[in-house]
Amino acid sequence: MATKNLSDYDISKVPSATGIKVAIVVAEWNFDITSALRDGAVETLLKHGVNEKDIFVEYVPGSFELIHGSKVVYEKYSPDGIIAIGAVIRGETPHFDFISQGVTYGIARLNVELDVPVIFSVLTTNNKEQAFDRAGGRLGNKGTEGAITLIKMISLAKK
């Protein structure tokens, strides 16, 4: 939402993340944006107690590949949760709509099929400026939001 800083949250409402293992899958397409999202996620996980050795980062070519990449890291690392990071920016063709919809459905499907949460940290914006605003710019960092969401979802699963 354009009026809310994505990195603002009440730290007292975030459970401890000590002892959890996290896999992060990052799309290389729009890497100037996705790397900032990755950095926000990693910094937040560390801040909340995840050990650096328990954060596994893997890269896929684009946002559509986040679906299979998430399944691969699930099988490879047995994490407690996964953050899928990508950025799809509208262009002149319907490609944006197909990719955005496919990634959304694919990650939703993984949340039903896998026994760990897969967090959707994929920006779908009209232009690069909107993406930068959400990747550490004036609206915070969607990677930070993804990490907080993951911690809360893992905590819910462990209750």
| Catalytically active residues, by annotation | 95
What is the C-alpha separation between 65 and 27, in angstroms, rounded? 8
**Do the Cβ atoms of 21 and 56 come closer than 8 Å?**
yes
Q: For 125, phi and psi rounded to 5 degrees?
A: -125, 165
What is the C-alpha separation between 143 and 119, in angstroms, rounded? 10
**Do the Cβ atoms of 141 and 6 come closer than 8 Å?**
yes
Instruction: For residue 62, give the 3-state DSSP assignment.
Output: coil
Instruction: For residue 14, give the 3-state DSSP assignment.
Output: coil
